[in-house]
Structure 1
Amino acid sequence: MTEFDETDMALLRLLAEDATQSAGALGREVGLSQPAAWRRIKRLSDLGVIAGRRLDLDREALGFGVTVFLGVKLATKGRVSLDDFERAVSAIPEVQTVEHVLGLYDYRLRVVARDISDFERVLRRRIMTMPGVGDVEANVLLSEERRPGPI
């Protein structure tokens, strides 16, 4: 495992808050020149510590006011390839995350929809019609106090 010093960790925290910052701005925050900050960021990227940068969109502002977590239990694990299920469910645009989990259900999905009737349409026409889907449990998100962030 590669060792990371305080400066590496400070850069990662700053990038996690706002990945659009320039190497110069980041360097100023941590006491490095722009080239030194850029080299450290490149090294962290090359090591795979920085796996990518993504845009955080406001779902509600885009018209997706409902988020539902689905627990999905496959009915026929032996007959349905997990890879096939993952590939098929990942192709549904409203499905934001697909997590293979241990426990009562085989998968946990995060699904966004415009409203409850839109969610029902996605559930009935897209998810429940997939081969191998057995039990499904839905939990509607009421509020989100903390978004996923840096470790």
Structure 2
Amino acid sequence: MPDRTDHRILRHLMADPQAPNAVLAQRAGVAPASLWRRLEKLRETGVIAAIQNRIDWRKLGYEVQVSLRFTLDKTSPRAFDEFMAAAREVPEVTEIQTFLGSVDLRLSVIARDMAHWQQIYRDRILTLPHVSDSDALMLVSTIKDSGELAL
């Protein structure tokens, strides 16, 4: 179980994931060798799953972001598997999540503009299998986008 020192390291790591280990060690108040051992243990135990670079899709020309919620027709035992396999094939789908409740799945989709969104929707989204109901939410602005939690 991570201790207070691990939590302190994780706080500094979340605040600046690109920080060199020497800087991170100094900020967390531990020796560089101790930091390295602790980071390795946090990775081995799965506390740190990955260090990722995030792409700002808007800066690459993708101005439209849509969250699509789907309820599937579950009369087919393979409905979830077939839907997810088809959704994975849509290049503009950046995220697929499953839920319990009235919504079964959610897709995050990006598009360059409204014309591109309309093409993706008509050609790829409407052809996804086993859909009994769907709802689209277009992103207007992001107020908070953080995986951080007080440790």
Q: Same fold (TM over 0.5)?
A: yes
Unaligned runs of 5+ in 2: none
TM-score w.r.t. length of structure 1:
0.89
Greater CA deviation, 69-78 or 54-63?
Answer: 69-78
Instruction: Please give the root-mean-square deviation of Cα atoms over the aligned residues, in Å.
Output: 1.6
Deviation at 1:79, TM superposition (A): 4.4
TM-score by length of structure 2 reads 0.89
- Residue 119 of structure 1 corresponds to 117
Distance 1:121 1:39 in 2: 50
Offset of 1:67 from its aligned partner?
0.8
What amino acid is aligned across from residue 64 of structure 1 in structure 2? Y
Measured in 1, the distance between the counterparts of 2:123 and 2:135 equals: 16
What SS does structure 2 have at the residue aligned with 1:61? helix
Asked if the contact 2:79/2:129 (under 8 Å) is kept, the reply is: no
Matched, 1:22 2:23: no
Aligned to 1:141: 139
Matched AA of 1:91: E
Report the counterpart of residue 84 of structure 1 in structure 2: 82
Equivalent position of 2:50 in the other structure: 52
Match of 2:64 in 1: 66
Q: Is the 8 A contact 2:65 2:108 kept in 1?
A: yes
Query: How far apart, CA to CA, are the structure 1 residues paired with 2:55 and 2:47?
Result: 23
Looking at structure 2, the residues matched to 110 and 55 of structure 1 have their Cα atoms a distance apart, in angstroms, of 18
Query: Cα deviations across residues 100-148 of structure 1 (Å, max 9, x unaligned)?
Result: 1123321111111111221121111112112212322111111101113
Distance in 2 (alpha carbons) for counterparts of 1:54 and 1:11: 17
Identity of aligned residues (%): 34
In structure 2, the partner of 1:97 is 95
